[in-house]
Structure 1
Amino acid sequence: MSITEILVQPQAVAWLPWAVQYFFYIGSAYAAAILFLLSYLFRAHTSHYLRAALVLTMSIGAVVGPLALTGDLHQPGRAWHFYTNLTPWSWMSLGSVFLPLFSALSVLTAWLYLRDDIIELKHSDSAIAQKIALFSLGNWQTTSTQMITVTVLTCLSGLTIALYTGAEIYIVQSRPLWHQPAAPLLWFVTAFIGAIGFALLLLALFPIPAKANAFTQSDQGLIKRALLLSAILAAILLPIWASNNPSFSLYDSQEWLVRLGSLSVSFIACIGIALFASKIALYNRPQLLVMSAISLLCCWYLRWVTIMDVQTIPKFDQGPYPYELPMGSAGLLGILGMAGLWLALALAASEVIAIRTNKSINKPQLAQ
């Protein structure tokens, strides 16, 4: 009898922190597209500010997300090969077609919806704002039919993003925690938590005077229902996801118990925020920032655990295989850089939003 030792050479993780950033921002974008469509269809009951926050969450995420993806591809020029060597049987190749279409439709939807706000900038005392007003491309009025058509197309395109990003991780059969229906479903439902978190952050950035009567009860209702439903579904899916690993029980590991416990607490916190949302004034910036921070951390950490931490579980032999977050552009600096880019775009876009009272919010703003 002979014994053969098999040694595996050290390998870099397949998915880098850049991938976490991509799935985080693009997930919030397609979830915000769905929420924006709902808020626009019921625009007689929702405020312009909530709709603006959702449409900007969608468009900014659709711009920042693909930039993070190029970082995960290690070099921006590598993305070009997806188009010169198109392979329809590859979900990643299909994503190279779905992604730019969704990004373009998201920016177009945001531009159409915010044209009235951009036109108002021509009355500003700032010369820069007056020049920005030229991006309205004239004083023609956007019709309701145009707005609904483009928004529906953007939602459908967003669903293709949800499909391909979920399929990308589901097809990896060597990772049982990825190759299961609970994984893409968990990503999908928590994307709405991220969308609400970014929308609340934008509401805190908008130049809305305190007690301006700018929000409606339907605004609070939409935030409450979206956050509550998403957090409850995520809390149900998490133990189902964690149990689907036949070779390694997550509940036998102290580290994984801490991770799963932290995620469970974050979902409970989001449920608490949702139940408390109807009592929060949406012009109260400190409260908005706290609610936003909890929601965003919950959404981001879920993706970190399910992408990065899962890769530390050995496939064939015994671990552990710890992962240390680099401080450079492939790690912490990249995370902060993407967050800074999102915030910079949000600050710039928030200055476009015209201050309106509740009386003007519910008036038809688009031509029929």
Structure 2
Amino acid sequence: MPSDQSTWLIAVPNDGDAEGLLQELAPKLTQQAKLPIQDLAQLPVPSFKTGTLDSLVILSEDLPKQDAYFTATVAKAVDTLRNLLNNDPSKLSQHILVDERNVDSYILGGWKWNEGRYPVQRSLRELVDGLTSEMTSIDNALKSKLTNYNLVKGSLTQMQRRKNGNLSVRSLSDIVTQDDFILDSEYLETILVAVPKNLVKEWYGSYERLSSMVVPRSTKELLSDEEFALFSVVIFKRIHDDFLQKCRERKFIVRDFVFSEEEIEKEKQDLETAEAFQLLVHLKVIRLFVESVLRYGLPSSYIGVAIKPNPKSAKKIFDILQRQFTYLSPRSNPVQKRVGKTTGQEDFVGEYQNILDQEFFDFVLYEVPWVIY
């Protein structure tokens, strides 16, 4: 039985009445299994170019690996967002919008194959390779963004561990604000300097001359404690290293702090979770099609249905589906179709071990786990 923690994508042969299937299923599922009508929807399965039987079998062997990779990439993006948003489900749902809809609405609210980006005239192998290429780009971008985010987060975490120290060592994240910094300037930057109390007068008298391109009258005292006063000062970026060296020589302590609120927010917004999820669903639909052709043969016309089961009634929903599609039993033996009738050789079965190990039903079913969104 499929998981009760996933959305089920189902395909069966189209015997000429696609609308009729949904109309027949809906009352059984809503009345007998108490499935909300909004959790049941038609899922159009395009008529792709089938190619040869050999190419379909080879593709069916490759697709589980791609599916696992796609699912892992989406899960990683969602998990990163979840951590960024402090495990707040309401905020997470606001960030994971696919075509300006939440994930459930994307699948159950009239899903369509994106013909503009993935023309069905292409071969199935070309479509899968294209989807994989896009997902790989997203995965690489995600890794890069995670690295940048972790660097920023690590810096903040280290500072937050030093809350009890003086202004030369303590965290500044609860002291400074965005207004204390010049942001997004091509030439200028704001430096924070902790000045010993006995050197404050010297700071005021000398900071403009510490290097050649310090902005005059730009220093501002932000806070002071018993030992230090914290100043901001604006300099030209090109003298950054020289200014830091001159500060060290005068015993002025430059604080290594980068205002990170916008950077972290940018990382949240730039995670391409929504696009990755679209790619995953498109790949699932290709799997539905390939498996349907291998089970039921041509013509390649199939009906898709998407169901989001309630965990409490998932078994009842599945039992209804099994009874509904019992008539497909004589046509849905994938092992017999792909192996036994093809070769008659027991040794040949080893090549298709992944196929033999799968759990099969009279209808084709693949899952989108809820844990990834």
Q: TM-score range by the shorter chain?
A: under 0.3
Give the TM-score taking structure 1 as reference length. 0.21
| Richer in helix (by share) | 1
| Greater strand content | 2
Q: Which structure's relative contact order is higher, taking Cα pairs within 8 Å and 6+ residues apart?
A: 2
TM-score scaled by length of structure 2: 0.21
Structure whose alpha-carbon radius of gyration is higher: 2
